[in-house]
Amino acid sequence: MRLIKLAILAIVVSFASCQNKPGAVTKDALKTEIDSVSYAIGMDVGNSVLSNFEDINNDLFIAGYLNVLDSSDVLIDKTMAQGLVQSYFQKNREKIMKRQQERAAKEAEEKFGANKEAGEKFLKENVANEGVMTTDSGLQYVVLKEGNGEKPTTSDRVKVHYHGTLIDGTVFDSSVDRGEPTEFGVTQVIPGWTEGLQLMSEGAKYKFFIPQELAYGANPRPGGAIKPFSALIFEVELLEILDK
C-alpha cells in the first residue's frame, strides 16, 4: 500500500511539475516496472476523472492528494470531504439521468408523435360529450355510478375492477375480463389513476379519459399494446378501500 501511494505521489508530483510542459514525459522514462506501473495508475486515475467529472480544478486536486499523503494542511475533514463527493456524484447522476430521459423522450416523439397528436385530438373532441368533466390537470371523467362510501387518500390501498382500452377501442388490460378484481396502493399507479381514484366514493364507477402525460408518457412498458404518448381510457369501479 505504501509503495502504491509513493508511486501515485511520484505521478502527481511529476504532473505538477510538468503540467505546463506538454510531452515532457516520454516512453524513455518507463525504465523499470514501477515506472510503468506508476504511469498506468496515473492513466487509471486520469480516465476515472475524465469519465466522472465534467470539470475539475487540477491544482486543488493535486493539493488535496498531497495534503492527505503528508497529513499536513488538510483544508476539509474526512467526513465533510466524503459528503461533498457523494453529493456531487448524486447531482451528477441526476443530471445524466435527466439528459437520458430527455433524449429518449425526443426520440420517442419523433417516432410516435402521431400517437400524441391523435390523443390530443380525441380529448379535445371528447370534452364536448355529455357528462364529461375535466380536472385542472387535464384528466377527463364521466360518472357512471356514484358511490356512498368514503373517498380514498394517497395513504390507502384499494380493491377495484377496471377495463382499460386505447382510444381506438383496443383492450390492453382488464380485471373484468379476467374475472378477478385487483388491489394496489393509490400512489402505485399512473398519475391519472391516483387523481381519479381520489374523486370516487367507495362503490362508485367512473370512466376516465387519461392524457398521455398522466399515463405512461414516452415510457410505457416495452413490448406492450400501449405505445409512447398514448392517451388511455379506463372504466373503474371502486369496490373497497382496504386501509381505512
The SS3 assignment for 181 reads coil
190 belongs to the catalytic site: yes
| Active-site residue, selected from the candidate residues 61, 62, 167, 173 | 173
172 belongs to the catalytic site: yes
Grid cell for residue 116: 400524441
| Active-site residue, selected from the candidate residues 11, 141, 234, 241 | 234
216 belongs to the catalytic site: yes
User: Could you tell me where the beta strands, DSSP code E, fall in 136-231?
Assistant: 140-145, 157-166, 171-174, 182-185, 205-210
Q: Which of 222, 238, 19 is nearest to 104 (CA)?
A: 222
Q: Considering just the CA atoms, what is the radius of gyration of the chain in Å?
A: 30
Amino acid at 134: T
The SS3 assignment for 202 reads coil
| Active-site residue, selected from the candidate residues 34, 41, 167, 190 | 190
8 belongs to the catalytic site: no
| Active-site residue, selected from the candidate residues 15, 61, 65, 172 | 172
122 belongs to the catalytic site: no
| Active-site residue, selected from the candidate residues 122, 206, 216, 229 | 216
Scanning 127-198, the segments in alpha helix (DSSP H) are 175-178, 191-197
CA dist 54 and 88 (Å) reads 11
141 belongs to the catalytic site: no
Question: Quick check: 219 and 228 in contact, CB under 8 A?
Answer: yes
DSSP structure class, residue 214: G
Other C-beta atoms within 10 Å of 128: how many?
7
| Active-site residue, selected from the candidate residues 39, 122, 141, 162 | 162
Residues catalogued as catalytic: 162, 172-173, 190, 216, 234
